[in-house]
């Protein structure tokens, strides 16, 4: 393991302006050892119910735990801890992952094959899970990646790295759910490449954790690739959720849709920075950004930042960014129908993020996420879809 000093990004770095990095200065990044066999029973009890039709892969503090996983002939778990580090502030957490990861979970879906897989990243302390995904031409992968804290005081640190190459006309659906404890720090870096005609749909729900930062780099390297990116972030108390997504259109005819819905209650802060770069060769690119935040606390803060950097004329690009409060007309309508104020507000918050939540891939997962949101949205989450 490298003895190199740990260098973190700072808020002076442009793409990290909205991130909460304060708690990381004293964080312990060294990974926890592999879990003892005696711990597995307790961990198994904390896992969410299995999702019908999905195989399951469990990583505990980044270590693959075969005893809790489904046997998967197409999944190759290796331990290449010497992964090459990259330069730049945006790569610093990815580099920490490369330095500290306990193995890389390689998922290779062969051409024309299909796989539905749930990856559970369980953290008991510091954890650097790593997923390396390859979809062959025409392959289809439905992946649900969930992060869970499994520690009494919830003060876990997860620093995930996910890399994926999506082959020609392959389809990648990725759902990302965080079930972090109240004191957790959650970091992740995604690096994705889409080949000719490939499609990717990401749906991410961010809640829990004291601070989270999600960093993503997506590149349309093949023509006519398609990307849909849906993120819902719900902050409460003093939580701080920040997401940065950089999409590069390097080939013609590709499309990107970004939809962000953030709710900041209490003194929390939610942020989304969506950067689209359209290169000169990317003729016929279409991009659409819809970034909306709801401020539901007197001291809450929301930052949404759509950025377009375009180097060709043949582009259709639209973007909208709003930060507002609960709609007074909607609220009164619900009150006039006997709904108590707290429930009415919950319902409207639920409605605000429902654009994203409705995209979650399985009814069972939607139910589990709704149940997880019931504490934040009492009276709404578990019943609004009934």
Partner 1 sequence: MLVIKDLHAKVGDRKVLDGLNLEVPAGEVHAIMGPNGSGKSTLAYTLAGRPGYEVTAGSVSYQGRDLLALAPEERAQAGLFLGFQYPVEIPGVNNVYLLKAALNAARKHRGEAEVDAFEFLTLVREKMKVMQMDEAFLSRGVNEGFSGGEKKRNEILQMLVLEPSLALLDETDSGLDIDALKVVANGVNTLRSPTRAIVLVTHYQRLLDYIQPDRVHVLARGRIIRSGGPELARELEARGYDWVLNEAA
Residues that bind partner 1 (CB under 8 A): 327-330, 332-341, 343-344, 347-348, 350-355, 379, 383-386
Rounded CA-CA distance 345/297 in Å is 12
Q: CB nearer to partner 1: give 80 or 327.
A: 327
Cα Rg for the chain, rounded, in angstroms?
Answer: 20
φ/ψ (deg, to 5) at 371? -65, -40
DSSP 9: -
Min dist. Cβ of residue 115 to partner 1 (A): 31
Residue 186: what are its φ and ψ, rounded to 5°?
-125, 120
CA dihedral 373, 374, 380, 384 (to 10 degrees): 70
Q: Which is nearer to partner 1, 193 or 376 (CB)?
A: 376
Token pair listed for 329: 């007309």
The residue among 162 and 348 lying less far from partner 1, judged by its C-beta, is 348
At closest approach, how far in Å is the CB of 296 from partner 1?
A: 15
Distance CA 356, CA 370 (A): 12
Angle, helices 363-373 vs 341-357, to 10°: value is 140
* Residue 254, both tokens: 């590709």
- Whole-number minimum distance, CB 294 to partner 1, in Å? 12
We find the least distance from the C-beta atom of residue 329 to partner 1, in angstroms, to be: 5
Check: CB of residue 165 under 8 Å from CB of residue 137: no
**DSSP code at position 178:** E
Please say which residue, 298 or 328, places its beta carbon nearer to partner 1: 328
Q: Which token pair is 339?
A: 């709904």
Neighbours of 2 (CB within 10 A): 12
Min dist. Cβ of residue 200 to partner 1 (A):
25
Indicate the residue among 38 and 338 with the shorter CB distance to partner 1: 338
Q: Least separation, in Å, of the C-beta of 269 and partner 1?
A: 23
Closer by beta carbon to partner 1, 44 or else 335: 335
Report the 10 Å Cβ neighbour count for 40.
15
Minimum Å distance from CB 288 to partner 1?
Answer: 18
Determine contact, residues 255/230, Cβ cutoff 8 Å.
no
Instruction: Please say which residue, 81 or 331, places its beta carbon nearer to partner 1.
Output: 331
């Amino acid at each position: 393991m490298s003895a190199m000093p740990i260098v973190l990004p700072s808020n002076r770095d442009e793409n990290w302006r909205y991130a909460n990095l304060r708690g990381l200065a004293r964080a312990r990044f060294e990974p926890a050892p592999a879990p003892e066999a005696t711990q597995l029973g307790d961990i198994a009890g904390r896992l969410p119910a299995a999702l019908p039709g999905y195989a399951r892969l469990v990583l505990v503090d980044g270590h693959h735990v075969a005893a809790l996983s489904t046997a998967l002939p197409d999944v190759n778990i290796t331990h290449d801890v010497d992964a090459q580090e990259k330069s730049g502030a945006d790569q610093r957490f990815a580099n920490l992952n490369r330095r500290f990861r306990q193995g890389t979970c390689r998922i290779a879906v062969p051409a024309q094959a299909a796989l539905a897989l749930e990856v559970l990243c369980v953290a008991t302390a510091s954890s650097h899970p790593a997923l390396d995904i390859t979809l062959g031409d025409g392959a289809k992968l439905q992946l649900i990646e969930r992060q869970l804290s499994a520690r009494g005081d919830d003060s876990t640190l997860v620093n995930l790295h996910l890399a994926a190459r999506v082959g020609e006309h392959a389809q990648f659906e990725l759902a990302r759910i965080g079930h972090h404890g109240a004191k957790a720090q959650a970091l992740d870096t995604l690096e994705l490449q889409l080949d000719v005609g490939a499609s990717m749909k990401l749906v991410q729900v961010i809640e829990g954790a004291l601070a989270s930062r999600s960093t993503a780099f997506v590149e349309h390297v093949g023509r006519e690739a398609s990307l849909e990116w849906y993120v819902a972030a719900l902050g409460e108390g003093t939580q701080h959720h920040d997401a940065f997504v950089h999409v590069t259109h390097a080939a013609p005819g590709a499309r990107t849709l970004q939809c962000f819905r953030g709710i900041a209650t209490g003194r929390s802060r939610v942020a989304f920075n969506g950067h689209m770069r359209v290169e000169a060769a990317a003729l016929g690119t279409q991009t659409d950004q819809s970034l909306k935040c709801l401020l539901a606390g007197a001291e809450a803060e929301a930052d949404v930042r759509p950025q377009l950097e375009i180097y060709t004329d043949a582009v259709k690009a639209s973007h909208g960014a709003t930060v507002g409060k609960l709609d007074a007309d909607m609220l009164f309508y619900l009150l006039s129908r006997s709904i108590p104020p707290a429930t009415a507000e919950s319902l409207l918050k639920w409605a605000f993020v429902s654009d994203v939540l409705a995209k979650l891939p399985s009814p069972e997962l939607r139910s589990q996420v709704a149940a997880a949101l019931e504490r934040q949205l009492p009276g709404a989450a578990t019943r609004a879809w009934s």
